[in-house]
């Protein structure tokens, strides 16, 4: 398989080299680090490690992911990975394994099923993750346990999802659309550790509030669309009589 890795990064000069050094060069064919308006040496450090650096001046996790996708070289599988060294890049083979075996189109590395280091997930993060996945499962008949950022998806499937969110709703948008498109979805347990530096989301009250509002709004908006708009469109396409 041709595997491409996209790593959104905003001011992660202290951690990005650690992430890149742990990726298996024999497994990964392409690494794209998206410098999301960093004011430090993130780009220079990533480039020195051999990564391809893409600049995205507009801030936002989803916007950075979209910028990385625009630069892909037609891989078979795309892996998304955080730049703060909270994920374990050396476990990438475990995340892509179900796709390689033909068992899945989309794989999420679940921190809930895996071993999360004490303090790596704040109480607010744990509660928000539980609430979001509980609502997602109830509204879309899924079995998610996590909105984890460490994930792999077939490139052809990713293109079909037509991802659009430019900020905090990226992960939940992908999981909702994957369910609606009928993708084969598997979660695999992954370890998780305390990130290097301070989180731009969970590390601030503003970040937590904005992320929570965005995710919940996306969930209920998607559910409303599915319940009201989709049936109406189907009925409109049916011939009279």
Of the listed ranges 81-95, 156-170, 189-203, the least confidently predicted one is 189-203
- Check whether 43 has a pLDDT greater than 60: yes
Query: Out of 3.40.50.150, 3.40.30.10, 3.90.550.10, 3.80.10.10, which CATH number does the structure's domain 3-120+145-196 have?
Result: 3.90.550.10
Nearest to 10 by CA among 52, 49, 38, 40: 38
Coil, strand or helix at 110:
strand
* pLDDT value of position 209: 64
* pLDDT value of position 168: 82
Write down the domain spans for the chain.
3-120+145-196
Nearest to 46 by CA among 14, 76, 74: 14
Nearest to 88 by CA among 153, 23, 35, 13: 23
pTM for the whole structure: 0.86
Sheet strand arrangement including 151-154: 52-55, 30-35, 3-9, 77-80, 151-154, 106-110, 185-189
Question: Which of the four pLDDT bands, split at 50, 70 and 90, describes residue 222?
Answer: low
């Amino acid at each position: 398989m041709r595997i491409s890795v996209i790593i959104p990064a905003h001011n992660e000069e202290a951690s990005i080299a650690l992430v890149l050094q742990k990726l298996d060069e024999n497994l990964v064919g392409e690494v794209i680090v998206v410098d999301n308006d960093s004011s430090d040496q993130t780009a220079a450090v990533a480039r020195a490690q051999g990564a391809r650096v893409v600049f995205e001046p507009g801030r936002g996790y989803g916007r950075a992911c979209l910028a990385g996708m625009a630069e892909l070289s037609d891989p078979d599988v795309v892996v998304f990975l955080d730049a703060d060294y909270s994920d374990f890049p050396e476990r990438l083979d475990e995340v892509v394994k179900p796709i390689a075996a033909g068992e899945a189109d989309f794989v999420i590395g679940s921190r809930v099923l895996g071993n999360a280091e004490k303090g790596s997930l704040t109480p607010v993060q744990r509660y928000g993750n539980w609430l979001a996945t509980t609502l997602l499962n109830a509204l879309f008949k899924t079995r998610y346990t996590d909105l984890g950022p460490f994930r792999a998806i077939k490139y052809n499937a990713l293109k079909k999802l037509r991802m659009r969110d430019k900020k905090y709703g990226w992960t939940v948008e992908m999981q909702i659309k994957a369910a609606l498109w009928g993708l084969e979805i598997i979660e695999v347990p992954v370890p998780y550790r305390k990130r290097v530096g301070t989180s731009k989301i969970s590390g601030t009250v503003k970040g937590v509030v904005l992320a929570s509002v965005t995710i919940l709004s996306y969930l209920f908006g998607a559910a409303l669309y599915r319940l009201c708009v989709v049936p109406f469109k189907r009925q409109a396409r049916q011939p009279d009589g």
